[in-house]
Structure 1
Amino acid sequence: MNYKDKTREQLLKEIELLKEHVVILEKENEQFKIITENTSDNIAITTFDLKAKYLFVSPSVKQVLDYEPEDLLGKSFFDFIHPEDKKVLLPLIKKYVSLKARKLLTGKESTISETIEFRFRNKAGKWRDMHSTVNITGKYLLAVTRDITKRKLMEETLRQSEEQYRLFFNLLPYGGEVIDISGKIVKCSPSTAQILGFEMCELIGKHITKFMTPDSVEIFKQKFPVLLSGKSAVAEIRMIRKDGTELNILRAAQPIMDDNGKVNTILALNVDITEQKLAEEQLRSQTKFIDNLIESSALSTWISDENGTAIRANPACLKFFGATEEEVIGKYNIFKDEVLIKQGYIPDLKKVFENGEIANVIIDYNFAEVEHVHVENATHKIINSTFTPIMNDDGKVTNVICQTLDITEIKSAEKEIIKAKETAERYLDMAGSMFVSLDTNGNILLINQKGLEILEYDDIEELLGKNWFDTCIPPNINKEEKKVFNKVMNCDMKGVEHYNNEVITKSGKRKIVSWYNSYIKDESGVIKYLLSSGVDITEQKASEDELRKYREHLEELVKERTVELETKTKRLEDFNKLFVGREFRIKELRTKVKELEEKLGI
């Protein structure tokens, strides 16, 4: 119906409805304004075409990228993203633009969303990592974008830390594995595979109970909830080797927490005590064999009576603790040990004597702090002690055997891991730089993603363990570079903190890298490894060379022009001399003519 055909009342009603609609739109507009002006995310609207020109940009772009909204309006989104990301995103938008051109996207269907990550150049010219959710809304693209640069840096830092952890984890002298909260093996040390006779790839991904005897599976089911609650656990189990034989394993497990304090994974260390168990069985029936075994054993071993008083200690034990038989036999009592009392191990040890349970404890043990005996040359070590009860036929504990391992070096290795992690974090702060770590032989320990990009490698495994000089330094200079490196690492020559040299990429290209070096030393001042950060200055050097060649060419042109000017100047000087000479000659002739005229009276 035309408005001319409507009554006054109908028109007034329509006007009221329009006013209400305007109020709603103004309210929605105000809400949208509040959102866009106060959110930390950047909200933008672009054209739905291959240019993707900005039509609207929220004020938060100033906070995120230091641009004013006016700096982006009318410009293409692709003018600001990293060239490598452009190669990925252009085909994506081309796909949707093509669908639109073929009218497969009518604008009436539900909103189509894509989640993308890319690098965006901020106003200072630096690349920022961005995460964006893009919605196709009719003729426009609506993008909500968040700066994830810090998250990316944290992910890279975590990756480097995990790599350091992996290197040290693989060096564990005992068997060790990391299992997830479902009990599956996610990582294991080479020693674990060796103990069980499997390849590492045959273990990873399998549930740990697949390698346990049925009775050990029951022990696992009892202990695993304790670990998931955040507490450590120790248990003696039996594990099955690939060839079907069984091993007695002393297993100490520690939960690893995530940032929220929840158990993420569990680290388990395994000691093969199969031989120890066999010895325990033989000890019950063969007293003479017990004597020979204890005396000849290289493992620190001492025996207590049913009350915890030492009645025997083998030579290895006496040497281990720095004691003599006169100082401890018949005098030392485990329940009077001030070190064990102070560190809270007495309740566990009582279970050994009262219930016949095996106990395994890790102690920071300073024998000099034990006051009820006097040991002249007492030692101080971090020890792993296993207390094993010996029972008679009635099930009563008659003796307890204590066998001890020195794990001081393992604890020192943990400190080295922390130190290496701190060092890695310090160098990872050099965002955008190539990062390389070499051992004293020049072998590659670590290399970051930027280093892979500069050297044109796809996978870090292609370089780890390879010799840097043989792999990444051009053949004509690698011998000399290696010679200098060896002198520095052997402290025969002072290392330089900054220098430029050539590297060779996987494809054979040569690049020039500007290096900054840091030599990591142990407590005694011996260099342990080299950490270097580098920047590719190949293009810069090429520009400098072009500038030098241009300068030299310009100097040649100046020389040629100078010679030409000097020649022309000489000719002018000769002409000037000739001209001036003629002028003087004319003047002389005029003077003589005048003199003759005066003599002749003319």
Structure 2
Amino acid sequence: MPKKIPNHAFDTDKSREQLLQEIYKLRESLTTKERRCLELSEENTRLARTLPEKEAFYQILYEHIPLAYQSLDAAGNIIAVNKTWLSIFGYTHEEVNGRNFADFLHPDCVEHFRENFHRLKSVSETGVELEMIKKDGCLLLVSLHGKISRDNLGNLWQTHCIIEDITERKRTEEDLRRYRQIVSFTPDGISLVDQDYRYRIVNDAYETFSGRKREQLLGRHIAEYLGEEAFHTQVQPSFDRCLQGETIRYKAWFDYPALGRRFVDVTYFPYQEFDGSITGIVASTRDITDVKQVEEALRRSEAHYRLLHESMRDGFVHVMMDGRIIDCNEIYCRMLGYSAEELRFLTYINITPERWHDFEAAIVCDQILSRGFSDIYEKEYRRKDGTVFPVELRTILIRDDRGRPA
């Protein structure tokens, strides 16, 4: 029996025109969908054609990127490494694939790796520094940054890790740390001043010189610290010459807020960038006040000694152990008829008659060298004009810092 069509299948209230309009809209909708299907089909065809090219591109990128790449499974075994990884560590694919990554680590780093690998499973991304062993036994300090891929159940499927050799960088950082420590502990005040005469770097000793903390100096103009007059008269002229490439050194008195008046030895070095341009000045300031005061005391003592030396009524002469005359007073010069300059070209033997040579040599050995001085004794001198005259003298031995006869 033919199937009976329900009455509601047709809307008898619609006109013929309305029905035709709906049919037309349905045809248009079908045409649009057919067109979209055709576009998607063409896009799939195009992607299918370009997919091998993209795969080849990414394969080249994977193999030749200048960073070592590795992928590990959930147990930490190596699934894949790229050519850069093999080149850095000296292995072949056959020697690496399937082995646990811990096999390539320094024993001291294995536990540290395992802790971070376990953490990676929960945080999905991590970074760690490890020491790896190359095939030739050499050690490399590396930085490892990893992410993970998960399966449909959310479990770790595999890791994607980039490994960077940071051995040289760490060595440079350590050298820089040591250099900073040396500069920090040196008693010389070290500062870097830019072309605008503003502090960029100061060490601990410079803080002591200035009586200010580092943060109170950095970025400030040097005139704020030394004063306008000292800056314009003593510092700026030398700074400007240094900025032209000249190394400047001078000694001067400065009034420091914390230390008071100090005599310092100052050296300015041009600070050059890698391209050779001069962008500032490295200033080294050494406090030599104590040395200056000793020098001045010695100068005063020498002046006093010289006055006493020249005021003596007796002749005085300073003779080296080989007999060379290196100093004498005016009385001694008049006694012999020579000038002080002429006596410096003579020896003690030249002004002593020969018959006294053995006698005086015995006094040197028996008295002067053994006890440091002689008894008063008599001998003769020969004047410049050849005449001989008697003298009475005592000799005292001078020793150097090591106790040896000077």
TM-score calculated relative to the size of structure 2: 0.48
Greater RCO (Cα-Cα under 8 Å, separation 6 or more): 2
Greater Cα radius of gyration, structure 1 or 2: 2
- TM (norm. structure 1) is 0.34
